[in-house]
Structure 1
Amino acid sequence: MLRRVCYIGVILFSLLLMSCVNDDIKRGNDALRIGDYERAIANFSKALDVEPANRDARYGLALSYFAEAEQTDRFKDSSFVRWSRTAREFKILYGLDSSGSIDANYSTCLFYLARATLNHDASANVLPLLDKSIQLDSLNYFSYNLKGLILAQSNAHADLNSAKNIFIHIVTREPQFISAYINLGNIYWEEGDIESAWDTWSAGLEKAPTNRSLIHWTQVAEDSLKSMVLSGRL
């Protein structure tokens, strides 16, 4: 009889804990919805103290850290620590949720972490972060673009070719991604391939007629081509 009473007591206590966890998650979601990230983090963390593998609480905490880190970026403050913490939560969550529903957000988080890491330490190797980001979301062209920029700064010929292929991939798959036209044109320009630089910047200018950088460099390349024609070099 005593054993049965204890068993019932354990069940009731477990149900009480589950109810508390659900209440904490609800309060966390409510706080997150109105932008009260500190309170959201506190409530999701409280739920995870009781149930560390709770997917909804873990996702809520990751999103809260994400929103807080984004807010820090907007204020131009150092966000390296916040993005590191956000990525850590997404990594744990990734082990709990294999549905693919979090992949795009996790990918975006890793892009922001890579960017914040470079701002924190310009010599840091963030290529593994970007490769993981691209693996999670093959449509994350921001990660592709940053990877291309890093490779373009290398003195290795193979890296430069890889950067060029990345930018070509971006403008082919996402023609409105203007930065890729600028970056690809810059590589051609540095290589002395003025025609390809002009072609690339001109194509970008068709997509973004008011982009000052494209207006400037397209004109510079055009003037260079005219000079080459007049001098007989083209």
Structure 2
Amino acid sequence: MSTAASQAFSTAEREAVYRVIHERRDMRHFSGGVVPDAVLQRLLGAAHHAPSVGFMQPWRFIRVRDRSLREGIHALVEHERVLTAQALGEREDEFMKLKVQGVLDAAEVLVVALPPGREQHVFGRRTLPEMDLASAACAIQNLWLAARAEGLGMGWVSIFDPLQLAALLQMPEGSQPIAVLCLGPVEAFYEQPMLQAEKWARRAALADMVFEDHWGQSPSSSSIAGENPPPLHPIE
């Protein structure tokens, strides 16, 4: 048995991993309810086990439970929604019809932020300082996948002024909010990404995203960038 085979999960476990990746959705419609503390703890634990450049762990989570704070966040998002629509020009009306947040409806609201003092972490960031943001995004993805596995919806809202949100939440100087996460029970998960269903955009072809050796050069094996993933078979 090869080393890879001996280290692999079972077929059912691997299928579950791929399933949660493909069925994760950026949710905007929530049905209230609650997220039990034990489940929320598991989700945050999953986020905290994300990889990070230089093991800097640049994620901080603010659980927003106060209704007035939620309303304040909602107002910030709505204000930026109008400005974003205006910046889109001819797609302004189309954009304003989209639902972009569930801050007032979701069972939980988590604000993810980068902490102050990140400049001290040079390992892996000397030439790419934005790796703190990339690392925090990995934590958000972990939480997102874990939430889907728990049957909970999650939506990442990024339409807000970060300085205003930081002030609202009394964050220290040098910190930076990067996401408002709406989390909780949903009536149903979207069959496809909401923006695709609304004909705002569509998933690009994988074949257009994969190169070999040089930019724009197609892979020598056409199956690497095929449209349909190969079936999952037990490793012998």
The TM tier, using the shorter chain, reads under 0.3
Q: Which has the higher contact order (CA 8 A, sep 6+)?
A: 2
Q: How does the TM-score come out when normalised to structure 2?
A: 0.24
The structure with the largest helix share of the pair is 1
Greater fraction strand: 2
Structure with the greater alpha carbon radius of gyration: 1
TM-score, scaled to structure 1: 0.24
